[in-house]
């Protein structure tokens, strides 16, 4: 049987890690037409985006039906490949994928690149799900002209999230770079600083550069609940967050800022204390731990896909997280 501490932790995880499940209350800004100076047109059309999205979702559906991720690499890559393979592992043990893994088939807006080189990035914002979960921001990438577009990342938009404005897909949008200037921080700096904020909360030296958001609230709330139980048994916990090098996609908005989607990995280490075993604390953790042998300390590795709006440097605005996906991919006793 689970200890009282483990039961409390499971309850905290069940409540806290379902970020962004409610329908997104914010409205997408109306796409803008481009100025007369635009001379580069997109190579993709909205019809082609629909074909790409349909092919990707069919691949995901087949993997889910078969509970087998072997064929995912044809249409899925990057952090999303890790997340979906982990979800399938959990689904095998629990009888199906959790509803947070749902991706709606219909879209509200697509952001198509004008860039002529590779790799290329395309964003698509879906509708809400049938059970009124929030919209998803899908990130597709094409690494070379002879490769398929693949689903690189998915972020569930936070309730009330305000996304920047983009030009209409027939005109297209320019991709950004990790070192884009003219912003309150470069995209790469923004991701690294956000990782520090996730790890250190209000104690981070960068905390005042970021608006509060659902992911930060969730991580803080769960950690506080777990800490209360840990202290009763002289247990300890710690979390580290690290921006993954080169795992970043950027599109430049017509508002002058960048919408950045990036991968931040994290490790949550929990030591039970007082000679106790540290056990998996949720169905996800138990499925990923499998037949491992418990010790006093357990480490859970997460993939966090975060979407940040980085505003122009003269805007007076903070960097804002508009969506995220947070999933465990590995559970081990150490």
Domain locations in the chain as residue ranges: 4-23+42-333
Neighbours of 134 (CB within 10 A): 26
Determine the pLDDT at residue 42: 75
Q: Distance between CA 47 and CA 67 in Å, rounded? A: 30
Give the residue from 202, 196, 281 showing the smallest Cα distance to 235: 281
**What does the mean pLDDT of the chain come to?**
90
Stretches where the chain sits below pLDDT 70 are 1-41
Residue 56 · residue 194 · CB < 8 Å: no
Determine the pLDDT at residue 232: 86
Residue 69 · residue 267 · CB < 8 Å: no
Angle CA 261–262–266, to nearest 5: 140
Angle CA 228–233–234, to nearest 5: 85
Determine the pLDDT at residue 300: 98
Determine the pLDDT at residue 35: 42
Determine the pLDDT at residue 9: 63
Determine the pLDDT at residue 228: 87
Q: Return the exposure string of 90-120: e unless at least 16 CB atoms fall within 10 Å of the residue's CB, then b.
A: bbeeeeebeebbebbeebebbbbbbbeeeeb
Cβ burial of 276 (10 Å; 0-12, 13-18, 19+) is middle
């Amino acid at each position: 049987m689970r200890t009282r501490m483990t039961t409390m932790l499971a309850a905290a995880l069940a409540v806290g890690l379902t970020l962004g499940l409610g329908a997104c209350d914010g409205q997408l800004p109306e796409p803008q037409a481009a100025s007369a100076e635009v001379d580069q047109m997109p190579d993709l059309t909205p019809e082609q985006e629909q074909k790409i999205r349909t092919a990707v979702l069919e691949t995901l559906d087949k993997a889910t039906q078969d509970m087998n991720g072997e064929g995912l690499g044809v249409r899925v890559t990057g952090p999303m490949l890790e997340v979906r393979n982990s979800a399938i592992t959990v689904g095998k043990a629990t009888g199906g994928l959790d509803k947070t893994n749902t991706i709606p088939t219909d879209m509200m807006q697509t952001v198509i690149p004008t860039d002529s080189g590779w790799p290329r990035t395309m964003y698509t914002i879906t509708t809400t799900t049938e059970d009124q979960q929030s919209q998803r921001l899908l990130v597709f990438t094409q690494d070379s002209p002879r490769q398929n577009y693949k689903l690189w990342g998915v972020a569930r938009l936070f309730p009330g999230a305000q996304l920047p404005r983009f030009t209409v897909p027939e005109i297209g949008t320019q991709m950004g770079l990790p070192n884009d200037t003219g912003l309150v921080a470069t995209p790469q700096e923004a991701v690294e600083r956000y990782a520090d904020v996730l790890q250190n909360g209000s104690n981070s030296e960068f905390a005042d550069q970021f608006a509060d958001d659902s992911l930060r609230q969730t991580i803080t709330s769960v950690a506080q609940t777990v800490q209360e139980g840990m202290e009763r048994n002289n247990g300890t916990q710690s979390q580290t967050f690290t921006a993954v090098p080169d795992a970043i996609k950027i599109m430049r908005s017509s508002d002058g800022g960048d919408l950045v989607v990036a991968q931040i990995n994290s490790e949550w280490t929990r030591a039970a204390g007082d000679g106790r075993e540290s056990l998996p604390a949720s169905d996800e953790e138990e499925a990923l731990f499998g037949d491992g042998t418990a010790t006093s300390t357990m480490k859970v590795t997460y993939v966090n896909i975060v979407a940040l709006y980085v505003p122009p440097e003269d805007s007076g605005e903070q960097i804002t997280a508009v969506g995220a996906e947070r999933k465990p991919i590995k559970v081990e006793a150490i």
